[in-house]
Amino acid sequence: MKYFILFGPPGAGKGTQAAKMKEKYSLRHISTGDLLRKEIAEETELGKMAKSLTDNGNLVPDEIVIGMIRNVLDSDRTAKGFLLDGFPRTEAQAVALDRMLKERGSEVTSVLSLMIDDDEVVRRIKKRAEIENRADDADEATIRNRVRTYHEKTEPVINHYKSTGKYNEVNGTGSIEEVFGTLCGIIDRL
C-alpha cells in the first residue's frame, strides 16, 4: 500500500494536483479540507467548532483531525494507495500518522511538497474565492493569517519528513501540467 502526502501552503494547487494524481494512480484522495467542509455543511458539532476556527484562519485541533483520518483509513482497506491532502499539518499529526501506518505494517511512501511564495498564495486564494464562491477564501487578513499559521505550525513538518528521506520539494509556480509532470516523475521512480 502506498501513502503519499501532498504538502504545501494554502493555494499551492494541492486539490488540483490531487485530482489528477488520484485519476492517474488510482489513489484514494483524503482531503482534510473536504472532510471539514462536509462537517460544516452538515452543521455537526465538529463542523460548528471547525467553522469558528477556520473562519479566522486557525487550524482545527490535532486530535479531531487525526480521528477523522483514522476513520477514513480504517473504512477502506482495499484501496491501492492513499493521497493525503492537508494532513499532516503539525508535527503531532505527522507522528500520529507514522504510528497509524506502522500499526498497518506500512509507512509514508513520499511527501510531495508544492512550494509557492506568500504573495502567490494570496493571489491564488483570492482568485479561488471568486471562482468557487468560497467565503473562507475572500478576506486578505484571513488569508495572511492562514499563511502565517502555515509557516509557524505546518512548515516544521518538513523537517520531520526530511529526516526520513521521504521529502520531495516541487516548484508549484509552473502550469498545472508542468507541476503534474514533475510530480509524476517522482512517483514513477518510487
Q: What is the DSSP string of 86-144?
A: S---SHHHHHHHHHHHHHTT----EEEEEE--HHHHHHHHHHHHHHHT-GGGT-HHHHH
pLDDT, average across residues 157-167: 92
Instruction: Give yes or no for residue 36 having a pLDDT over 70.
Output: yes
User: Has 89 been annotated as catalytic?
Assistant: yes
pLDDT, average across residues 8-12: 90
Active-site option among 51, 89, 124, 166: 89
Instruction: Give yes or no for residue 138 having a pLDDT over 80.
Output: no
User: Has 70 been annotated as catalytic?
Assistant: no
Name the pTM for this structure.
Answer: 0.83
Check residue 111 and give its pLDDT: 96
CATH of 2-180 among 3.40.50.300, 3.65.10.10, 2.30.110.10, 3.40.50.1820: 3.40.50.300
pLDDT, average across residues 179-190: 96
In three-state secondary structure terms, 2 is: strand
Instruction: Give yes or no for residue 136 having a pLDDT over 70.
Output: no
Please answer whether residues 90 and 159 qualify as being in contact, where contact means their C-beta atoms are separated by less than 8 angstroms. no
**Alpha-carbon span 185 to 71, nearest angstrom:** 31
Active-site option among 24, 48, 127, 134: 134
pLDDT bin (cut points 50, 70, 90) of residue 114 is very high
**Alpha-carbon span 109 to 21, nearest angstrom:** 14
Active-site option among 146, 153, 166, 189: 146
Averaged pLDDT score across all residues of the chain: 89
pLDDT, average across residues 90-107: 93
Can you give the residue ranges of every domain in the chain? 2-180
User: Has 123 been annotated as catalytic?
Assistant: no
Active-site option among 51, 124, 128, 166: 128
Residues near 73 by Cβ (< 8 Å), separated by ≥ 6?
A: 30, 82, 100, 104
pLDDT in tens, 37-95: 888 888 888 778 888 887 776 777 888 888 888 888 888 878 889 999 989 988 899 99
Active-site option among 14, 51, 124, 166: 14
Least confident of 51-60, 95-104, 158-167: 51-60
Please answer whether residues 142 and 148 qualify as being in contact, where contact means their C-beta atoms are separated by less than 8 angstroms. no
Rg (CA), the chain: 16
